């Protein structure tokens, strides 16, 4: 009887850390995948805005010399447009599926519905409603928690926003080097 209890105790010391590691990694993959998908969606939305579309920015007061300090700036990267995008971007997570790397068991999130509504290759992709709900929820948490950083990054054109934002600034992806740079 004592050896059976000892065996269970030993097994629990072996398996509990392993199970904790698996769930922690799974959560990390979800955080990272949501961040990367969020960046892809915002970049695409910004690219769809007519570059000629501008808004007036500055003070509408008349200066003593009779002029106004108003300038026209491109709308795509204004705080107003970015705030509007952040309010609705996580709805796009329903267009994503979860792929599991057969070698590393790491999970990545890929678009399974093209932006023009056509179905893309979804072979070996999890399209479970719970996964989609989790991805959307994580996206919303990232937007809520890192709103200022998102506005800061997207208000200026920058290269490698996924890596800079998701890995360096927020630490949501600590394994960015191992993720293929996907272009949608």
Evaluate whether residue 134 is within a structural domain: yes
Give the whole-number percent of the chain exceeding pLDDT 70. 80
Query: Which one has a higher pLDDT value, 59 or 19?
Result: 59
pLDDT band at 174 (very low <50, low <70, confident <90, very high): confident
Question: How far is residue 20's CA from residue 18's CA, in Å, rounded to a whole number?
Answer: 5
Evaluate whether residue 184 is within a structural domain: no
pLDDT value for 22: 38
State pLDDT tens for residues 9-19. 444 445 444 43
pLDDT value for 53: 94
pLDDT value for 2: 54
For 129, other C-beta atoms within 10 Å of its C-beta total 8
Instruction: Give the range of the structural domain holding residue 119, as residue numbers without chain letter.
Output: 29-174
Number of domains in the chain: 1
Query: Which one has a higher pLDDT value, 128 or 181?
Result: 128
State pLDDT tens for residues 136-160. 999 999 999 999 999 999 998 888 9
The angle formed by the CA atoms of residues 168, 141 and 97, to the nearest 5 degrees, is 85
Exposure string of 3-15, with b = 16+ CB inside 10 Å and e = fewer, is eeeeeeeeeeeee
Evaluate whether residue 162 is within a structural domain: yes
pLDDT value for 5: 57
Token pair listed for 148: 């200022």
């Amino acid at each position: 009887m004592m050896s059976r209890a000892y065996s269970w105790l030993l097994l629990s010391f072996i398996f509990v850390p392993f199970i904790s590691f698996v769930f922690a990694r799974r959560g990390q993959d979800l955080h990272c995948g949501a961040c990367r998908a969020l960046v892809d969606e915002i970049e695409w939305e910004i690219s769809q805005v007519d570059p000629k579309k501008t808004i007036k920015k500055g003070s509408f007061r008349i200066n003593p010399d009779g002029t106004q300090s108003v300038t026209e700036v491109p709308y795509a990267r204004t705080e107003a447009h970015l705030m509007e995008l952040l309010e609705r971007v996580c709805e796009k997570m329903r267009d994503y599926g979860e792929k599991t790397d057969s070698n590393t068991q790491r999970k990545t999130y890929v678009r399974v519905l093209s932006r023009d509504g056509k179905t893309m290759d979804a072979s070996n992709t999890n399209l479970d409603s719970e996964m989609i709900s989790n991805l959307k929820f994580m996206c919303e948490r990232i937007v809520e928690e890192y709103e200022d950083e998102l506005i800061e990054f997207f208000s200026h054109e920058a290269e490698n926003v996924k890596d800079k934002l998701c890995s360096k600034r927020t630490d949501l992806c600590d394994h960015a080097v191992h993720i293929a740079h996907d272009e949608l």
